[in-house]
A and B are shown apart, each in its own frame.
Chain A
Amino acid sequence: MTIDPHLLSGAYALDALDDEERRAFEQHLDECPECAEEVRGFADTAARLGDAASVAVPDHLRAAVLDQVRRTPQERPAVVPMRRRRRLAGSLAAAAVAAAVLGGVTVYAVDQHQQAEQLRVQQSEVSRVLAAPDAELATTAVRGGGTVKVVVSADADRAVMVLADLPELGDDRDYQMWTQVGDEMVSAGVVPRDEQGAVGTHVMEDVADVSAVALTVEPAGGSDGPSSDPIALVETPGA
């Protein structure tokens, strides 16, 4: 007997599925916006049940958590989930690409001591893309100031986006990155505010179907879709 996957939304939101069913339902969620919307409301509802279980917290737990956090680096992902891979035509020598972008990469602002480790991980990701034989570079000026450089490698199935010297925005607005897949703009994340006026490097995965990378100004915290025209749009090389 097959069961309508829609009906699993409640059990999913309560974590009452086994691992296999959970994975299957998460796949279904990608294709079913109504289900995703329903799960969101259920998650808020379940969180109220969690709130209702609140207890007094012992002081030693706070000390232990804060101490551990002080010693632990944060993850720094900028990952765009997408589909098939496709080879990009034409190519620049990796060395030329590296020369063109590396300034930006090395000036990457390290504003917290614990980011040193993330930086190392990210730089190795960046090097991997730059070192790919099929790496290609595109550069554009940003309307309003600053530049965007994009390096794409189909072999590495990754793109590196370097944002430089974007003017600082008021607290009510953020820069947001997008990838264009067909006619759709997919969010690639909000640009952290500390990168405004500085240099930021972002690695994107699964870029085979991406035809362009764009930057917009959005209300603080970002939007589901671009709410204004891009201030920069880079067609990925070979697209």
Chain B
Amino acid sequence: MPTPDPGPRSLRAVASDATPSPDTLLERVARGDEKAFAALYDELAPAVLGLVRRVLRDPARSEEVAQEVFLQVWQKAQRFDASRGRARTWVLTLAHRRAVDAVRHDQAASDRDRRYDWTGPEHDQVVEEVTTRLEHEQVRRCLGSLTDLQREAVNLAYYRGYTYAEVASLLDANPATVKTRMRDGLIRLRDCLGVPA
């Protein structure tokens, strides 16, 4: 292993060796760069597939939807505007929207369990596959800092794809209250995670 050099030269070397950020990669994808697309896929596929699987549950259907998401990323890359947000957020927002649309569409025809059986992220079967990263611990800790209603409202909407009206009925709460709790839950989560407001 090379000896770390504390000087600025070493810092520059580290920065230039790093994988390009998703923002840089997505801008290259927008210009038709297939290699950049493959690198972007490698960077984001674990989160995209994991998120879609959380919402949809069915592994085969989740892979189908994840594939659609990446195709959409390829086709619509020109619409990404780096001045309006991060590429990672752009892709995960697409993925979530697509997963939620799919679960609502499939709902009638599938055996999706509409009962409230959610027991928290740490007990979810999918979590066993989660790659252990410091960030996940931070997310878990920050979710833990929310009130019960805030946390359950955020979890049921984001990880299960329920509308706020469905969340309200599952939790036997007022829909207006649920909407407000989603917002103040996200504010608390945002501040806890150190996301710029």
Contacts and interface: CB of A to CB of B under 8 A. Distances in A.
Interface of A: 1, 3, 7-11, 13-18, 38, 40-58, 61-62, 64-66, 68-70, 72-78, 111-112, 114-115, 187, 189, 192-194, 221-224
B186 A47 contact: no
A184 to B, nearest CB: 16
A221 B183 CA distance: 31
Interface residues of B, number: 81
A75 B167 CA distance: 37
Contacts of A73: 75
Contact of A69 (B37, B46, B130): B37
Given A47-B89, A50-B96, A41 B195 contact: yes
B85 A43 contact: yes
B45 interface: yes
Contacts, number: 205
Given A3-B176, A50-B95, A56-B131, A45 B189 contact: yes
Contact of A15 (B77, B81, B157): B157
Contact of B89 (A44, A62, A112): A44
Interface string B42-54: 1001111111011
16 contacts: A18-B163, A41-B197, A44-B85, A49-B159, A50-B50, A51-B47, A53-B47, A54-B50, A55-B131, A57-B46, A57-B49, A74-B30, A74-B77, A75-B75, A75-B78, A75-B79
**Which among A54, A68, A222 has the greatest number of chain B C-beta atoms within 10 A?**
A54
Contacts of B93: 43, 46-47
Contacts of A58: 63
Q: Is the interface of B mostly helix, strand, loop or mixed?
A: helix
A7 B71 CA distance: 33
Given A17-B164, A221-B83, 5 more contacts: A15-B157, A61-B49, A61-B66, A74-B74, A76-B78
Contacts of A57: 45-46, 49
B34 A69 contact: yes
A53 B159 contact: yes
A2 B180 CA distance: 14
B97 interface: yes
B31 to A, nearest CB: 5
Contacts of B179: 3, 7-8, 10-11
Nearest to B178: A11
B38 interface: yes
Contacts of A221: 23, 27, 82-83
A58 B59 CA distance: 11
Contact of A54 (B63, B79, B130, B184): B130
